[in-house]
Amino acid sequence: MKDYQVIVVGGGAAGMMAAGQAAQRGKRVLLLEKKERLGRKIAISGKGRCNITNEEHVSDFIRNYPGNGRFLHGILREFDNVALREFLAHYGVETKVERGGRVFPVSDDAETVVETLLAYLAERGVTILSGITVEEILVEDGRVTGVQGLGQRRFFAPAVIICTGGASYPATGSTGDGFRFARKLGHKVITPRPALVPLKTAEAWVKEVQGLSLRNVEASLWIGGKKKVAEFGEMLFTHFGVSGPIILTLSRQAGEALRKGEPVKLELNLKPALSSEQLDARIQRDFQKYSNKQFKNALDDLLPQSLIPVLIRLSGINPDGVVHQISREERKGLTALLQGLPLTITDTLSLEAAIVTAGGVDVKEINPKTMASKCVKGLYWAGEVVDVDGITGGYNLQAAFAMGFRAGRAAAGEEFSQV
């Protein structure tokens, strides 16, 4: 069996970058992937468009990682968003910036990113074996010696980088293998849980508007009767509740509160650009325009069609009543409803349905300067398997690439000295 100098387990963003960087430094590198094709999660990210990173200045990145952002401080500075875009451009992938600083390939096709990374690995001479499930990390006298796959097949190397991802989207290959390895090797694993995940609601009316996407709205998260945080942007109604970028960003905090048994609610401001006085004046203009129509036919200028019956019902105003007969109190109540549409959050979707996994290998047991294990010599960690997670907007992929970049270089240069 051929020996290698670095073995990378997992062919996602972190794994491909780590393998390429180690090979770039002259090492014989083997990349093992349990699926038949590398980059499965990259290919579906950003709805198939791949939100690679964010254009925000790297000094401001840390605040967008509720899960151990400080751990990434030096890692992100070594391989930041500018470096990542330049890397991709070098291999022919030009990028563009969209709302919220989100960076996408100009092609709007995530596959171009995957193909670019595969070309990079080929150029650097990385050996890729797909369809290989690693069962065990081999260790002797506290030092890594290689890995063992199904059927007792063994691969040997003095440095192993584990980039197996978390436990979200298991169809892409992220089935929690790295957490199992970590526990067996003596690492502490922070309980994996969903980080960016849709939310379930108690209100049945969401089914009536499922598929409705709203832009430029504000969602406020209330926990235990207190407003905690608000997010502005896009959201989506589903058959079970709500999803979309602003909901996903709020979901981590919502999920933590639910696990503690605290009541969680959302308030949706459908017209956040207007003050309550301005919105009331707008409604009055509409009511004057449609003064002789029934109330149910007077909201077409104000709301999406599918949401009108829901808002009418929640307002308590007679849908068949004539608009000019609506009282001031009823109009004020409608204004308040439009800027504080309540939703009771009952649960998150499962970890398997989450975009990102929170939890993972405890960062206290990883050297941030090298991504090396503090428990086993020659062992490195990178990507979502580590207890680091960010909000939506390209932050999680950036973190994965940056951790892979550092781990690959460290494993290639100092595979025996990192403890």
- Determine phi and psi for 84, rounding to 5 degrees: -65, -45
How many Cα atoms occupy the beta-carbon half-sphere of 347 within 13 Å?
5
Specify whether 89 is located in the same domain as 119. Answer: yes
Share of the chain above pLDDT 70, in %: 98
The CA-atom distances, in angstroms, between 301 and each of 283, 296, 305 are 10, 12, 9
180 falls in which pLDDT band (50, 70, 90)?
Answer: very high
Instruction: Indicate whether 1 belongs to any domain.
Output: no
User: How far is 175 from 325, CA to CA, in rounded Å?
Assistant: 60
Q: Check whether 239 has a pLDDT greater than 90.
A: yes
Q: What pLDDT sits at residue 389? A: 96
Amino acid at 253: Q
Residue 242 pairs with which residues in a beta bridge?
199, 237
Specify whether 181 is located in the same domain as 231. Answer: no
Identify the CATH number of the domain in which residue 38 sits: 3.50.50.60
CA dihedral 312, 318, 319, 325 (to 10 degrees): -110
User: Where does a domain end: 312, 329, 349?
Assistant: 349
Specify whether 92 is located in the same domain as 28. Answer: yes
Lowest mean pLDDT across 165-174, 233-242, 314-323, 410-419 = 410-419
Mean of pLDDT values over 136-157: 94
Instruction: Indicate whether 33 belongs to any domain.
Output: yes
Q: What are 96-131's pLDDT values in tens digits? A: 999 999 999 999 999 999 999 999 999 999 999 999
Amino acid at 257: A
Instruction: Indicate whether 218 belongs to any domain.
Output: yes
Given a contact cutoff of 8 angstroms between Cβ atoms, the answer to whether 13 and 401 are in contact is yes
Specify whether 306 is located in the same domain as 329. Answer: yes
Specify whether 37 is located in the same domain as 124. Answer: yes
Specify whether 357 is located in the same domain as 396. Answer: yes
101-103-108 Cα angle (round to 5): 135
Q: What pLDDT sits at residue 2? A: 62
Specify whether 299 is located in the same domain as 362. Answer: no
Specify whether 212 is located in the same domain as 253. Answer: yes
Q: What are 206-219's pLDDT values in tens digits? A: 999 999 999 999 99
What range does the domain containing 400 cover?
6-194+353-413
> Structural domain tally of the chain?
2
Q: What pLDDT sits at residue 417? A: 38
